[in-house]
Structure 1
Amino acid sequence: MTIAPSFLRQRLSFARFSLVLAAVAFAGTSGCTRRPGTDGAKDYLVYVGTNVASEQENTIFLYRLSPATGALTRVSAQRGGANPTYLAMPAGRRFLYAVSETQTFRGAAGGGVSAFAVDPRTGALTALNQQPSAGASPCYVSLDRTGKAALVANYSAGNVSLLPVAADGQLAAPSATAQHTGSGPHPNQTSPHAHCFIPDPANAYAFAVDLGTDQVVGYRLNPAAGQLTRQAEPAFVARPGAGPRHLVFHPNGKRAYLINELNSTVTALAYDAAAGRFRELQTVSTLPAGYAGPNSCADIHVAPNGLFLYASNRGHNSIAVFAIDSGSGVLLPVQDVDTQGQTPRNFSLDPSGQVLLVANQNSNNLVSFRVDPQSGQLTPTGQTAEVPAPMFVQVVEDFTR
């Protein structure tokens, strides 16, 4: 289903929306934005984490992505540990970190986190070291903005941990762990389930999204000391049974967006950076009207230009596209597009926002889409790649050329 931009403007009395589209169109013709297919367009590298359980098999894959065509070319495949379902690469692109989403690690209960050095000539990975994650089924890892701390969410354990990162990229054992408590009304909420752990734009707070307790839990972040200090009250409480999963900040730092797995919604939030708290602006469905089949949401991203938001539906197997009102931060439904595969666990936009790449976990494929810079709408490029149980895609500029 596609909603035309003209309808959006009428529906929302959205004068700012037309101004935004005009500004984007001007940028696209002023020479400030490199368009696909023009001379000088650079390829991207794509690191793919998978749900392959064997330590002896290739589990992290590297592809080259053409922004001109959306084509994916495999560069390499290598062992990355068991179930490296989520990856993180700091801005310097010297290192890569991967969780091992397992119930046991080195013979003990819990999962693990692996550190890799990145070869600047080829993009290949060399294992540096591994550490326990301090909880079972780690499903998310991010780096604080100094690169000194890895932040890990342990789903089954319902806790979060901070692992110090040395200058050489190696991980130390967790220096801080925080256990969540509570439950929710949904059958999948019998206990806490930490599903996301990210720093805020100022690196003052870290926020843990807990699917099991319908909360966003805030922590004062001290990466130099390797410390987390929990706030007395939740930073945000979602609607009962919503099952919040991932949180993403808008580029302006004043807004954030929360995708709710269990009730298939996205919540727009105003962010109070001083207090480290969120206030609900709006909650909207990620599904088209009339759809009554099974669904659970997974991933969420804001376009680099801050004009559009994308959210993935597993069951409906689609990407929901929203325009973002530049004044209020509220969301306007634009499109929902079939991902051409099953269970879009994760997706990513390239750094320029030209291409969106979807990892369809249960159909073992990556699919690329062209992004319209004026409407945010997605069009399949016709380019796909086969990958076993892809769970995560990290798209970075090709630094090897």
Structure 2
Amino acid sequence: MKYLSPFLFTVSVLVSSTALKAETLWIAAEGGVYRSELNEQSGELSVPELAAAFDSGSFLAIHPHLDVLYASYRDDSGAGYASLVPSGDAGRLQLQSVQRVSSGNAHLSVSENGRLLAGAHYGEGVNYVLELEADGAISDRWTRLVQSGSGPERPQTQARPHWVTFAKKDSLLHSVDLGTDEIWTYGVGKTANSVQLLHKVKFPAGTGPRHMALVPGSNTAYVSGELNLDVNTFFYDEQSGRFSPLQYISTVEDPFPDKQISLSEIQVHPNGRYVYTAVRGLDLIVTYSVDPQTGLLSLVERKDARVHWPRNFTVSASGKWLIVAGQRSHELRVFEIDPGSGELSPTESRIELQSPVCVRAWDRI
């Protein structure tokens, strides 16, 4: 474990005091977007139902104010972005709009004001920023942000943006680039063509940063290092949009030369006290506790994910359950979260679904 100088931080407690009886899960998998209900008392998942059919989609996002769900989108005609709205049939969604771009499989983020949609395109080395209409539909007004550079590892032959998010009341856009070992930070105005690069911050060579958990109301951010298997802790100065490294901590006990091992998702528990990340190949969920004064992490446990290739997971809004998607074992499983320690206990709740790649706990639509 390597530490750099600590900073004080505060965390907003996000857990609702009112436990939900059921919570809607949205899942991107082969064939489109699926819907399942999580029983908040038992942790049981209902059999997933196809809500919107298309060839495939890799990530989901939701409008902050409207009943509109966004998905990366691919069909016989090409790839891009889709907005989905309730169809009138219970649990079903219909296409509201589709915007084609040159590639699909993007990680998505919607601005807090609901005016912009951003997508990170790993294969193409670009981010797209698209304007949204008043009803949430995706417009044809967009800009293409090309990133450049490389790193020492085999997947780092080019820039590979893997994650984006808006910040500072939508005036900033952060893009985590696996290929260049950097976070690219852009300034954002009211339109898509207003976006301009401000600065970049570098990770240790070969980190392969994948996803970030930017904690609302705090000055701490956590990034999963897909290639070197580290979780990276940063002090985040929202005013300037700059990141300063605090800590690099490995998810595994010993170095593993097997290149089939990699990190995927990373999330902070709604109470801000625990951080979770997934290790593909070893098929683990790793839990860390967060020091409330410094934001630094301490290992709590490494738990068998009980799925093969945990591509994605989510923590329920209540903070009681963690749902993990096994892309290669074609299933989702549920763990109960100990509120006092953050430790995970497996349940018998399991559903089958072909190649799930994104699961989100939004009790909406």
**Counterpart check, 1:67 vs 2:40:** yes
Structure 1 position 222, deviation (Å): 1.9
- Cα distance in 2 for partners of 1:150, 1:124 equals 23
CA–CA distance in structure 2, aligned partners of residues 390 and 300 of structure 1: 17
Please tell me whether the aligned partners of residues 170 and 188 of structure 2 are also in contact (alpha carbons under 8 angstroms): yes
Kept in 2: contact 1:175–1:227 (CA 8 A): no
> TM-score scaled by structure 1?
0.83
Shift of 1:124: 2.0
Instruction: Say which of 173, 182, 199 aligns to 1:206.
Output: 173
User: What amino acid is the match of 1:391?
Assistant: V
Q: CA offsets per residue over residues 258-286 of structure 1, 9 Å max, x none?
A: 11100111100001112211000001011
What is the aligned partner in structure 2 of residue 12 from structure 1? none
User: Greater strand percent: which structure?
Assistant: 2
* 1:125 aligned residue (93, 111, 120): 93
1:188 aligns to 2:161 (yes or no): no
| Alignment match of 1:256 (pick from 204, 207, 221) | 221
Which has the larger share of helix?
1
Letter in 2 for 1:132: R
- Mean Cα displacement is larger for which, 193-202 or 311-320? 193-202
Whichever residue aligns with residue 160 of structure 2, its letter is H
- 2: CA distance, partners of 1:78 / 1:147: 23
Of residues 26, 31, 43, the one that matches 1:47 is 26
For the residues of structure 2 that align with 1:396 and 1:198, how far apart are their CA atoms?
Answer: 17
Q: Partner letter of residue 317 of structure 1?
A: D
- The equivalent position to 2:56 in structure 1, one of 83, 92, 95, is 83
**Please, which runs of 5 or more residues in structure 2 have no aligned partner?**
1-7
User: How is 1:144-159 mapped onto 2 (pairs within 5 angstroms)?
Assistant: 144-159=111-126
Q: Deviations over 1:201-249 (max 9, x none)?
A: 5322100111111011000012445531111x31x21110110011111
Q: Which runs of 5+ in 1 are unaligned?
A: 1-15, 36-40, 53-57
1:171 maps to amino acid:
I
1:385 partnered with 2:351: yes
- Quickly say closer, same or farther: Cα 1:101–1:242, change in 2 above 3 A: farther
**How has the CA–CA distance of structure 1 residues 379 and 226 changed in structure 2, closer, same or farther, with 3 Å as cutoff?**
farther
Report the structure number with the largest CA radius of gyration.
1
Percent identity of paired positions between Structure 1 and Structure 2: 28
Alpha carbons of structure 1 residues 138 and 295: separation in structure 2 relative to 1, 3 Å: same
Q: 1:117 touches 1:169 (CA, 8 Å); kept in 2? A: no
Higher RCO (Cα < 8 Å, 6 or more apart):
2
2:73 to 83, 87, 100: 100
One-letter amino acid of the counterpart of residue 368, structure 1: V
**Structure 2 vs 1, CA of residues 277 and 172 (structure 1 numbering), >3 Å: closer, same or farther?**
same
- Size of the aligned set, in residue pairs, is 353
The question of whether the paired residues in 2 share the 8 Å contact of 1:197 and 1:209 is answered with yes
Residues 82-115 of structure 1: per-residue CA shift (max 9 Å, x gap): 221101112335000000268xx735xxx31011
Alignment-derived partner of residue 83 in structure 2:
115
RMSD: 2.3
Alpha-carbon distance in 1 for matches of 2:106, 2:156: 17
211-220 or 174-183, which deviates more: 174-183
Q: Is the 8 A contact 2:52 2:93 kept in 1?
A: no
1:140 aligns with 2:107: yes
Question: Retained in 2: the 8 A contact 1:257–1:269?
Answer: yes
Alignment of 1:1-400 (within 5 A): 33-34=17-18, 41-50=20-29, 52=30, 58-74=31-47, 76-92=49-65, 94-100=67-73, 106=77, 111-118=79-86, 122-133=90-101, 135-224=102-191, 227-231=194-198, 233-234=199-200, 236-289=201-254, 294-397=260-363, 399=364
Higher mean displacement: 118-127 or 302-311 = 118-127
CA distance in 2, matches of 1:300, 1:246: 6
| Amino acid paired to 1:49 | A
Q: CA, structure 1 residues 177+291, in 2 after alignment: closer, same or farther (shift >3 Å)?
A: closer
1:50-69 CA distances to partner (integer Å, 9 max, x unpaired)?
1x2xxxxx421100011211
CA contact (8 A) 1:258 1:266 kept: yes
| Separation (CA, whole Å) in 2 of partners of 1:163 and 1:191 | 24
Structure 2: how far apart are the matches of 1:121 and 1:349? 27
Segment drifting more, 385-394 vs 123-132? 123-132
- The aligned residue for residue 3 of structure 2 is none
Residues 281 and 330, structure 1, Cα contact 8 Å, conserved in 2:
yes
The CA deviation at 1:176 is 1.4
- Checking the alignment, whether the CA contact within 8 Å between 1:300 and 1:312 is kept in structure 2 is yes
1:336 deviates by 1.0
Match of 1:55 in 2: none
- Mapped partners of 2:55, 2:162: distance in 1: 19
Deviations 1:129-154 (A, max 9, x none): 11023x42432011011111111011
